[in-house]
Amino acid sequence: MRYKPIALAAAALAIGLAAAPASATLIPLTPVQLTGQGIGASFTTLTLQGAGSASTESGGVLFNGNVFGDALSGASQSHVFTFADLSISNASQLALIVNLAEPGSESPPSVTTAASPLAINANLANAITLNVYSASGALLEQHTANAGLTLNQVASGVGGSGLVFGLDAAEQTQLNNTMAANAGNEVFTVGATFANSQGGPETIQAIRLAQVAAVPEPASYALLLAGLGALGFLSKRRRRKG
């Protein structure tokens, strides 16, 4: 799997952080441009696609691997996972990549995280929710992003882009303590609700945070280009002197 950072993605992460309450425990980190992706080519934990003309899509995965709401079934689209599946051992290494593939005419296309309207299992699918189960199926804790976040699509196509979410420091400690107190591989599922959608599909991948390259600021690219330009100029001068 290869991850190619893009400068313009920094502007695409318009998620309204100033208005976000401090209670959010699953927080946006950075956008990334993905390559070589697509359903079936990545560790996709959830795929949502609303039916018909519905503008809100909501669903998730249960402990037994069954899906509910607008979640799509199939091992390549929605399933449970463990830390072992991701080759990680600490909550600080966990990242979720939200990939939007909105077909609408918005510029840029976007969705809004929202409370789940489902009559059943709504608590498992609010905004973006990471559900933590014991090996026996007891729901131990949940980590949920804020509702009302506007997530802008970084690039088109399934698997073409992503917005990275991770746990804040306090929640990392809490999850690590929970896992230490409950021997065995904890099982994780993901649920989500996106309002103002235009058909999806939207996918959420689980991955090691170390595999996600940081997105350079535009100023960093400017410095890089200036440096390359200087090297080219010096090289040209040496050739002329030769």
Structural domain boundaries, residue 92: 2-216
Euclidean distance between CA atoms 159 and 145, whole angstroms: 21
Q: Which residue has better confidence, 102 or 131? A: 131
- For 1-36, the pLDDT digits (tens) are 444 443 333 333 333 333 333 345 788 886 665 544
Residue 94 lies in a domain: yes
Residue 192 lies in a domain: yes
Euclidean distance between CA atoms 204 and 45, whole angstroms: 6
Question: Does the pLDDT of residue 98 top 70, yes or no?
Answer: yes
Residue 52 lies in a domain: yes
Residue 11 lies in a domain: yes
User: What DSSP element (H or E) covers 233?
Assistant: helix 218-241
Euclidean distance between CA atoms 65 and 53, whole angstroms: 27
pTM, two decimal places: 0.75
- Number of folded domains that form the chain: 1
Query: What are the DSSP E strand ranges found in 62-186?
Result: 67-69, 94-99, 110-113, 128-133, 139-144, 150-152, 161-167
Mean pLDDT (the chain, rounded): 76
Residue 20 lies in a domain: yes
Residue 177 lies in a domain: yes
Residue 209 lies in a domain: yes
Residue 239 lies in a domain: no
- For 187-236, the pLDDT digits (tens) are 999 999 999 988 778 899 998 887 765 444 444 334 444 554 554 545 55
Euclidean distance between CA atoms 100 and 96, whole angstroms: 13
pLDDT value of residue 43? 81
Euclidean distance between CA atoms 48 and 224, whole angstroms: 39
Q: Which residue has better confidence, 241 or 5? A: 241
- For 28-77, the pLDDT digits (tens) are 886 665 544 444 446 889 999 887 777 899 999 999 999 999 999 988 89
- For 115-147, the pLDDT digits (tens) are 999 999 999 999 999 999 999 999 999 999 999
